[in-house]
Amino acid sequence: MADHHAQTPVGAGLPMLPSLRWDEPPEGPVLVLLDQTRLPVEEAELVCTDVPALVAAIRTLAVRGAPLLGIAGAYGVALAAARGFDVEDAAEQLARARPTAVNLGYGVRRARDAHRAACARGSGPAVAAAAALDEARKLHAEDAEASTRMAGFGLALLDELLPGGGHRILTHCNTGALVSGGEGTAFAVALSAHRAGRLRRLWVDETRPLLQGARLTAYEAARNGMAYTLLTDNAAGSLLAAGEVDAVLIGADRIAADGSVANKVGSYPLAVLAKYHHVPFVVVAPTTTIDLATRDGASIEVEQRPGHEVTELMAPQVVVAGVEAGGGMPVAPLGTQAYNPAFDITPPELVTAIVTERGALSPVTGDGIAELTVRSRRG
């Protein structure tokens, strides 16, 4: 079951509600999400008391973005365990909620394996549930730490690639605190440039059709006092042609073993544009987003979403209802078919560098990816 809690006003300078938190009110443990479908109009919390509610929140993008999906998945397993539901079944439902972000399955597996290990040691349900929760908390903290490290490595790379100083960065989708245990991936790099006085402008792609750039990245940029400008996705080409962009920075939902990057649809055209205009195209993602089991870009499953997200304009307040049943403002004749992949794949040769919490990889090759992953597993 899910329920909406009190809403707080949205505005620059006010502390942002956490994108996700575990709570234990007298009625029992809950996972509380900042409902991203309602931003930027209002900050509303969505309280999940069971796994079906969390699965629905994942599918409707109330909680979204690769690293946060992993954290939410892990807490979802902990929630099932703490509430006495079937943990194995919960883990399966959660892992299947969205197909592309590899972090979701990773987070689910970590909490499930911690639960399994506790059960195998002969622990009772309460101790096994506590083990799953501990693992979710550990993953949450690790992601926050990875975010800080990526911000440092990413800014150092920008300074090296762009020795001139004031960086003008174009970004796509949303990659900030709303997708992370910390300050995010690509957005965290832009934020650290801003704090260091080296961000001249953050160009924010609106990110059709669900407007993660306009609704969420602009919201985070405003809250952080960054100099930012919103543009339609279609305007990126002329902006690059005008020489207004020094680097393109995006996150990733899955990085295959050959270095192919799945990210929000519209990332690949930006990579092609960046190559043509000799602008660095940098992907920022934790090593948990690397999936060595996926050989190449063609092997990545790309989520296909309902056509009405394209044929209707989804105002923030109706995204939840809209994803399941329509309800946005029609912008195409009734019955129009739509092509609506949530992600696209950028081949490694178009990626200047991948920045992880272990450092930056450039050029991007399969061998480099393997080495980075081995290093990360060695700790």
Active site residues: 253
346 binds ligand MRU (CB under 6 A): no
Q: Which is nearer to ligand MRU, 20 or 252 (CB)?
A: 252
CA 28 to each of CA 114, 122, 171, 311: distance values in angstroms, whole numbers, following the listed order: 21, 24, 40, 41
282 binds ligand MRU (CB under 6 A): no
215 binds ligand MRU (CB under 6 A): no
Closest approach, Cβ 294 to ligand MRU, in A, equals: 15
- Secondary structure, 3-state, 162-194: CCCCCEEEEECCCCCHHHCCCCCCHHHHHHHHH
Distance CA 142, CA 146 (A): 6
User: Tokens 């609106």 correspond to what residue?
Assistant: 206
Distance CA 92, CA 87 (A): 9
Residue type, 110: R
98 is in an annotated binding site: yes
Single out the residue of 19, 49, 185, 287 in contact with ligand MRU (rule: CB under 6 A): 185
Distance CA 158, CA 280 (A): 9
Q: Which is nearer to ligand MRU, 212 or 311 (CB)?
A: 212
Edge-to-edge strands, sheet with 254-256: 290-291, 254-256, 261-264, 343-346
320 binds ligand MRU (CB under 6 A): no
**Phi, psi at 99, each rounded to 5°:** -90, -25
SS3 call for 264: strand
Taking CB atoms, the residue at the shortest distance from ligand MRU is 251
Angle at 357 between CA 95 and CA 280, to 5 degrees: 100
List the one residue out of 99, 103, 88 whose CA is nearest residue 136: 103
Distance CA 131, CA 206 (A): 40
Single out the residue of 189, 199, 240, 252 in contact with ligand MRU (rule: CB under 6 A): 252
287 binds ligand MRU (CB under 6 A): no
Q: How many CB atoms lie within 10 A of CB 355?
A: 29
Single out the residue of 43, 205, 253, 357 in contact with ligand MRU (rule: CB under 6 A): 253
65 is in an annotated binding site: yes
Confirm if 354 and 259 have CB atoms less than 8 A apart: yes
Q: Considering only 49-57, 61-69, 196-204, 275-283, which stretch makes contact with ligand MRU by CB under 6 A?
A: 61-69
Q: Which is nearer to ligand MRU, 263 or 287 (CB)?
A: 263
Q: Considering only 71-79, 198-206, 246-254, 293-301, which stretch makes contact with ligand MRU by CB under 6 A?
A: 246-254
Q: Which is nearer to ligand MRU, 251 or 280 (CB)?
A: 251
Single out the residue of 154, 182, 209, 251 in contact with ligand MRU (rule: CB under 6 A): 251
Single out the residue of 20, 53, 54, 61 in contact with ligand MRU (rule: CB under 6 A): 61
> Could you give the string, one character per residue 158-177, with x where binding to ligand MRU holds by CB under 6 A and - elsewhere?
---------------x-x--
Q: Which is nearer to ligand MRU, 87 or 226 (CB)?
A: 226
66 is in an annotated binding site: yes
263 binds ligand MRU (CB under 6 A): yes
Edge-to-edge strands, sheet with 20-23: 2-8, 43-48, 30-34, 20-23
Confirm if 72 and 63 have CB atoms less than 8 A apart: yes
348 binds ligand MRU (CB under 6 A): no
**Phi, psi at 290, each rounded to 5°:** -85, 130
Map the footprint of ligand MRU across residues 74-103, applying CB under 6 A: 101
357 binds ligand MRU (CB under 6 A): no
Name the residues that contact ligand MRU, by CB under 6 A.
61, 64-67, 101, 173, 175, 179, 184-185, 212, 251-253, 263-264, 342
Summarize the annotated binding site for substrate as residue ranges.
64-66, 98, 212, 263-264
